[in-house]
Structure 1
Amino acid sequence: MNTTPFSRREFLKTSSSGFGYLAFAALAQQQVLRAAQQTAAGPLAPKAPHFTARAKHVIFLCMQGAPSHVDTFDYKPKLAADSGKNAPSAAGRYGTAKLMGSPWKFTRNGKSGLYISELFPNLGKHADEMCILNSMATDLPAHPQAFSQLHTGTTQFVRPSLGSWALYGLGTLNENLPGFITVNPPANATRTYGSAFLPAIYQGTKIGGGGFPGGGQGRRFGGMAPQSTVANIKNDRYSTEEQRTQLDLVQALNRSRMQLDGGVSPEVEGVIESYELAFRMQAEVPKVMDLSKETAATKALYGIDDQETDTFGKQCLMARKFVEAGVRFIEITNGNWDQHTNLKASLERNTAAIDKPIAGLLTDLKQRGLLKDTLVIWGGEFGRTPHSQGEDGRDHNNKGFSMWMAGGGVKGGMNYGMTDDYGYEAVLNKMHVHDWHATVLALLGLDHERLTYRYAGRDFRLTDVYGTVAREIMV
């Protein structure tokens, strides 16, 4: 970074509003301070975990809308046998609903023989690397509340997201990139990647976004455009040197504000660090997101240039590149899994769009030696009912559903937990979202009870006063 002193003439030439000599003097002083502080550890500097970490990175493949567990990863032969019979009392308000067996076959996969739906022919080849959590549970069967709890641990309050907590606890491994990146998050869901009361530097950096109007499956169904990038990553008005001059002025004023406030202001400090990171990102982010230099074989592995899998394939390949570059936490959101109707056609379309890209991601991470240090997670905010809603749909089910994890210190080729014979409710090794959060943090080497932040007179944590680590799934 250039720290060569500049003249008052040069400053006035690059400043469009002529802030005057006082601002120039503050700016000159800021340059000296910045040069002295370049080697100082910032809030994003790598931090030692509480104990030996199994994973260094997380890729969370978030399926917004709640995938049906009984059609994907939770094999229920009794549900198939009793399909068409009256649903038991667990059906709640749909007391007259009929049980509906899955329209798809489940087959054993890998040496472990895990049952996985035929909807995932490519992912099934990675069964021996997957730990399928069949006993997930969350508090409420409503999308906004459950989606919030999945990301922040609470259904109603604004709290830091899982990615923000991970970044706060561990820092990042590349000072020129965000430590937490969220790809195509839903519209109006900033709390899912926000830092809340944590310093602003720990919030997620958004790429694309606004939801998936047609399900996000490939170019013909909408979703993130292939050219989507970080907003305002390029400045067409000023050169890098001119931007640095302007930023030095802004930072000088920010630090002056901090001194007036007593020298300590987490909010202003967060802004200062965010501005510096944004400046550095301008050179680094476009290079990492450039897929043009990837081989044809790699692109084919992810299903890129295939209309059905192109969009999600590009997102998964970017996630691998971000991991290689040192990003701590990457989330990719894929939407439109809320199948109250048209289950068969919609779910087939959903899974066809992600099956090959996810399998490609696992293959690519493994052959590059990255899977052992990268925790890959798949799942949504809750599951679906084993009884039908209408002729071809399933309702919400928060009492039992499935997620899976691979790599990052997780035992492969295993099922953890169980729902009842029909898939209504977790009955063995129930894993509430709080337990899942505690387990993810533990795989990163973080003790969820010690990872706290003082705010409003109390120590807050992701898991509040709950959370049990599922050590049985760890290698």
Structure 2
Amino acid sequence: MSLERELHAEYARYCTRRWFFKECGVGMAGLAAADLLAPQATAAPSAVNPLLPKRAHYPAKAKRVIYLFMGGAPSHLELFDNKPELAKWDGKLPPADLLKGYRAAFINPNSKLMGSKYAFAKHGQSGAEIGELLPHTARMADDLTIVKSMKTDAFNHAPAQILMSTGAQIFGRPSFGAWTLYGLGTENQDLPGYVVLQSGQKGPSGGMSNFGCGFLPTMYQGVPFRSSGEPVLYLSNPKGVSEATQRNTLDVLKQMNEERLGVMGDPEIASRINSFELAYRMQKTAPEVMDISQEPQHILDMYGAKPGEASFANNCLLARRLIESGVRFVQLFHEAWDHHGGLTKGLKEQCGLTDQPCAALVQDLKQRGLLEDTIVIWGGEFGRTPMVQGGSDGRDHHPNAFTMWFAGGGMKPGLTLGATDEFGFNVTEDPVHVHDLHATLLHLLGFEHTKLAVKFQGLDMRLTNVHGELVPKLLA
């Protein structure tokens, strides 16, 4: 079910209960219902903007997030996790005990091992090992926090992406970006607090739930922007509609919605009021922020960005412009890394599209003094198998071990955390589950992850569910 249909269904259920108690109560049952509803009516949401900046649980090292989501899952075995022993086993069947109890998405037990297709080298004072396809990333090795011991629970794209984004494999939970916006609000009230930019072959396999708000009011969900043309479709007025006409129309709608909000107390009505007003303000602010042609040529060249084109490079530059303008959370989805076959060519192409812009983003943030309190996250939803798939040049999905990197925002620079076995198959040191990562990221943003919660269907719901442990080794 789509996010819109879920919200509509929940709204219908909510209104039906309210209507029943308000309109159909008779006798003592009606009086009892009215008494029970009185505190709710007193606490009904107002039209006051809930996206104004808020205080976290404690002083935070990070104020904002840029999440570079590499959808489809890049191969850690070619990019970050060098395994010389795997090369020696190339073309051979893996040891029997390696696959005991293992579930894979598509390969079979007779699949042979495959060594890395590309060479590795050590970089920087930290000595981080990085694959040859990432020369720009390698040059900023001492600014990165590399985690080679990530683990997840899902081995198919959609549930794994949803787990990475929301802390659960099922639809209907708020995304990490939505929780961040809910907890901190946003600094620029003329732009969405949570912006999504997409590139690659298609949108994320997990769909809009990757940046949805779940059971939180819809004002907290990510707003997709376009990197060329109008930032948001239908943002400008149609022909024949003047600014005065639009403003008068919005004023009438606002008055009607506020009256209904007072009757129903439905937070979605407050969301609607704020969304209309935000869209009106965005007509002036969004086009200016999204116009990268204003950037100096040396900045465009640094990213490899080209005004007027849709690209990952443009999106990285836009991410910097957005957070510099006060946007709290920017998420870039680049869905292009699912190399079941054609791994050698596919990795070279995607690294060619993303390596330079990612490094430029970190460098640009650093030179502007923004990296210190901005968390930059790079990674996919899981890793790839050391066994070959798709003939002789592909790897299957692998949840047991994969690599992500981070920069800024209180992460410890120059650190490589964790290790995997000689085949890059299982984590052997410092495992970091997705829930542990979420707990650590929330900590950097100033939140105790067990306390950032919302009561829903009788439960205290949170990003980390009932799991998650802070990883102190990752902190600067």
Normalised by the shorter chain, which TM-score bucket?
Answer: 0.7 to 0.9
Deviation at 1:193, TM superposition (A): 0.9
Corresponding residue number in structure 1 for 2:339: 339
Q: Which moved more, 1:411-420 or 1:40-49?
A: 40-49
Deviation at 1:80, TM superposition (A): 2.1
Deviation at 1:457, TM superposition (A): 2.0
In 2, Cα distance between the equivalents of 1:294 and 1:306?
9
In 1, Cα distance between the equivalents of 2:85 and 2:289?
48
In 1, Cα distance between the equivalents of 2:269 and 2:455?
17
- The aligned amino acid for 1:358 is C
In 1, Cα distance between the equivalents of 2:362 and 2:310?
17
- The aligned amino acid for 2:222 is G
Q: Is the 8 A contact 1:303 1:310 kept in 2?
A: no
Give the TM-score normalised by the residue count of structure 1. 0.85
* Cα deviation code 1:114-169 (max 9, x no counterpart): 00000100111110011111111111101111011011111113100110000000
Q: Cα gap change, 1:127/1:473 in structure 2, threshold over 3 Å: closer, same or farther?
A: same
Deviation at 1:337, TM superposition (A): 0.6
Corresponding residue number in structure 2 for 1:325: 325
Does residue 1:61 correspond to 2:68, yes or no? yes
Corresponding residue number in structure 1 for 2:312: 312
- The aligned amino acid for 2:229 is Q
- The aligned amino acid for 2:213 is S
1:154 to 162, 168, 187: 168
In 2, Cα distance between the equivalents of 1:294 and 1:206?
22
Q: Is the 8 A contact 1:304 1:310 kept in 2?
A: no
Corresponding residue number in structure 2 for 1:379: 379
Corresponding residue number in structure 2 for 1:7: none
- The aligned amino acid for 1:104 is Y
Q: Tell me how large the CA RMSD over aligned residues is.
A: 1.8
Q: Is the 8 A contact 1:303 1:356 kept in 2?
A: yes
Does residue 1:401 correspond to 2:402, yes or no? yes
* Cα deviation code 1:334-382 (max 9, x no counterpart): 1121100000001100101001111111111111111111111000110
Corresponding residue number in structure 2 for 1:216: none
Q: Cα gap change, 1:228/1:95 in structure 2, threshold over 3 Å: closer, same or farther?
A: farther
Q: Cα gap change, 1:281/1:436 in structure 2, threshold over 3 Å: closer, same or farther?
A: same
Percent identity of equivalent pairs: 44
Aligned counterparts, 1:30-429, within 5 A: 42-89=49-96, 90-91=98-99, 92=102, 94-184=108-198, 185-186=203-204, 189-208=207-226, 226-227=228-229, 229-237=231-239, 238-261=241-264, 264-305=265-306, 311-389=311-389, 390-429=391-430
In 2, Cα distance between the equivalents of 1:135 and 1:189?
26
Q: Which moved more, 1:136-145 or 1:225-234?
A: 225-234
Q: Is the 8 A contact 2:365 2:371 kept in 1?
A: yes
- The aligned amino acid for 1:236 is P
Deviation at 1:241, TM superposition (A): 2.3
Corresponding residue number in structure 2 for 1:26: none
How many residues end up aligned between the 2 structures?
417
Q: Cα gap change, 1:236/1:306 in structure 2, threshold over 3 Å: closer, same or farther?
A: closer
Q: Cα gap change, 1:43/1:306 in structure 2, threshold over 3 Å: closer, same or farther?
A: closer
Q: Is the 8 A contact 2:125 2:142 kept in 1?
A: yes
Q: Which moved more, 1:236-245 or 1:436-445?
A: 236-245
In 1, Cα distance between the equivalents of 2:225 and 2:428?
39
Q: Is the 8 A contact 2:293 2:307 kept in 1?
A: no
Deviation at 1:306, TM superposition (A): 11
In 1, Cα distance between the equivalents of 2:178 and 2:433?
20
In 2, Cα distance between the equivalents of 1:269 and 1:453?
18
Runs of 5+ unmatched residues, structure 2: 1-46
Partner SS for 1:183? strand
Partner SS for 2:188? coil
* Cα deviation code 1:6-48 (max 9, x no counterpart): xxxxxxxxxxxxxxxxxxxxxxxxxxxxxxxxxx962111111
Q: Is the 8 A contact 1:88 1:95 kept in 2?
A: no
- The aligned amino acid for 1:287 is E
Partner SS for 1:178? coil
